[in-house]
Amino acid sequence: MITPIVFALVNTVLSTCPSLPARSSPPANIRDVRPDDIKVIAAIGDSITAGFGAKGLADPKQPIDIHNLDEDRGVSWSMGGDDGAITIANFVKQYNPNVVGASVGKHIVNICYGPLCPPFQYKPELDHFNAARSGALAMNLMDEVNWLVAQMHQSPSVDMVNDYKLLNLFIGSNDDCLGCLPILGKSVLSPDAFEETMREVIWELKHQIPKLIVNVHQQFKVSGIETLTKNSQHCATLRAFGFGIECSCAYQPWPFGDSTRRSMDNLVDEYNQRLLNIRQDYLAENNDNFLLIVDPLFTGVHLQDWTLDYISDVDCFHPNVQAHQIMAVGSW
């Protein structure tokens, strides 16, 4: 585990890290890009990238509080731009103080869950280019892309043609949480459907956003949340009130639950393999203005080996600030 001492060291190292020497000429192509060349940072994904519940209960003595439904976007592992937040966006900012796109602050949850995806929930003045929405499935990513592209075109800080851009894409937890259901797992949430959707989304990003690096993060196995939280009275109480119902596949009782959790794990393995298949096709393309990276880091995450210190007490499901920091440091 990364301890508070390590967090302090990360901040110390970043604050003393020298700037990269100025380039004598612009990057030769997308594979020559350094952190200081990135002018724009963006993300699409689900509630993890949106930072849902990252800072925990607004007031532990008052569990019924509207602010418990906040997304703490300013500390999101990939996109948080709050001062002092340990995030990928702030790591990039260390090398290019003028990078734009990081989300800041917090606001009420922006919900998008399959067909239940109401419009007009974004707060552009806070979200900036963090297009992630809580509850999002892979099928919802195209809506996020459309919103993000529109925001970039409207921004006077973005040169769509010439600026190098980094986009982090992390999706699949909600798909996995419903994937044990026979009908859904064999149709709209199947590995084939996931791959088809991801290909469409990546194609759209490539053709709508020039000079783009897309960093796709493979999924961890969500099923481990059951082992991590099953002995917590606080988590049991939350579940009794319906929290966690969005991942019912993980919480089924034994022995049926053993089967549903195996189904979840198998589905994540398939999703991750499909991402590698897509990556292989783009490797063969060798495009100078578009680069697709598939990051395997989270495949090594085993939630059952964590402690509750890293899980939000809002719902005993989402990562808290410490976990977001771990994700950022590991990804960087």
Domains in the chain, CATH or no CATH each: 38-331 (3.40.50.1110)
- Token pair, residue 218, equals 């493979």
> Given pLDDT bands bounded at 50, 70 and 90, which one contains residue 9?
low
Q: Are the CB atoms for 161 and 210 separated by under 8 Å?
A: yes
Q: Are the CB atoms for 243 and 257 separated by under 8 Å?
A: no
* Rounded distance between C-alpha atoms, residue 218 and residue 171, angstroms: 8
For 288-317, how does the pLDDT look when each residue is reduced to its tens digit (9 = 90+)?
Answer: 999 999 999 999 999 999 999 999 999 999
Per-residue model confidence (pLDDT) at position 286: 83
> Is the pLDDT confidence value at 81 over 80?
yes
- Listed in sequence order, the residues at least 6 apart from 13 whose beta carbon sits closer than 8 Å to its beta carbon are none
Q: What average pLDDT does the segment 266-278 reach?
A: 98
Per-residue model confidence (pLDDT) at position 241: 80
pTM of the model: 0.93
For 167-202, how does the pLDDT look when each residue is reduced to its tens digit (9 = 90+)?
Answer: 999 999 999 999 988 888 889 999 999 999 999 999
For 106-156, how does the pLDDT look when each residue is reduced to its tens digit (9 = 90+)?
Answer: 999 999 999 999 999 999 999 999 999 999 999 999 999 999 999 999 999
* Rounded distance between C-alpha atoms, residue 167 and residue 242, angstroms: 34
Angle at 264 between CA 263 and CA 269, to 5 degrees: 100
Per-residue model confidence (pLDDT) at position 10: 60
Q: Which strands make up the sheet holding 164-170, listed edge to edge?
A: 38-45, 164-170, 212-217, 290-295
- Listed in sequence order, the residues at least 6 apart from 27 whose beta carbon sits closer than 8 Å to its beta carbon are 33, 34, 37, 164
Q: Are the CB atoms for 278 and 292 separated by under 8 Å?
A: yes
Q: What average pLDDT does the segment 86-101 reach?
A: 96
* Rounded distance between C-alpha atoms, residue 55 and residue 37, angstroms: 32
Per-residue model confidence (pLDDT) at position 255: 87
Per-residue model confidence (pLDDT) at position 13: 60
Per-residue model confidence (pLDDT) at position 8: 56
Match 């982090």 to its residue by tokens: 168
Query: How many beta carbons lie within 10 A of that of residue 276, not counting itself?
Result: 12
Per-residue model confidence (pLDDT) at position 246: 75
> Given pLDDT bands bounded at 50, 70 and 90, which one contains residue 73?
very high
- Token pair, residue 250, equals 């993980």
Strands (E), the chain: 38-45, 70-71, 107-108, 164-170, 212-217, 290-295
- Token pair, residue 142, equals 């195209």
* Rounded distance between C-alpha atoms, residue 171 and residue 140, angstroms: 10
For the ranges 15-24, 283-292, 322-331, the lowest mean pLDDT is seen at 15-24
Q: What average pLDDT does the segment 46-74 reach?
A: 92
Query: How many beta carbons lie within 10 A of that of residue 292, not counting itself?
Result: 22
> Is the pLDDT confidence value at 12 over 70?
no
Per-residue model confidence (pLDDT) at position 140: 98
Cis bond before residue 27 (omega within 30° of 0): no
Distances (CA, A) of 83 to 11, 15, 90, 235, 328: 11, 12, 8, 31, 15
Strands (E), 136-195: 164-170
- Token pair, residue 292, equals 């697709």
Half-sphere exposure of 254 (CA within 13 A, CB side): 3
> Is the pLDDT confidence value at 5 over 80?
no
Per-residue model confidence (pLDDT) at position 243: 75
Q: How buried is residue 216: exposed, middle or buried, by Cβ count under 10 Å (0-12/13-18/19+)?
A: buried
Per-residue model confidence (pLDDT) at position 14: 67
> Given pLDDT bands bounded at 50, 70 and 90, which one contains residue 258?
very high
* Rounded distance between C-alpha atoms, residue 137 and residue 147, angstroms: 16
Q: Select the more confidently predicted residue: 69 or 243.
A: 69
> Is the pLDDT confidence value at 224 over 50?
yes
Q: Are the CB atoms for 132 and 101 separated by under 8 Å?
A: no
Question: What percentage of the chain exceeds 70 in pLDDT?
Answer: 95
Per-residue model confidence (pLDDT) at position 2: 47
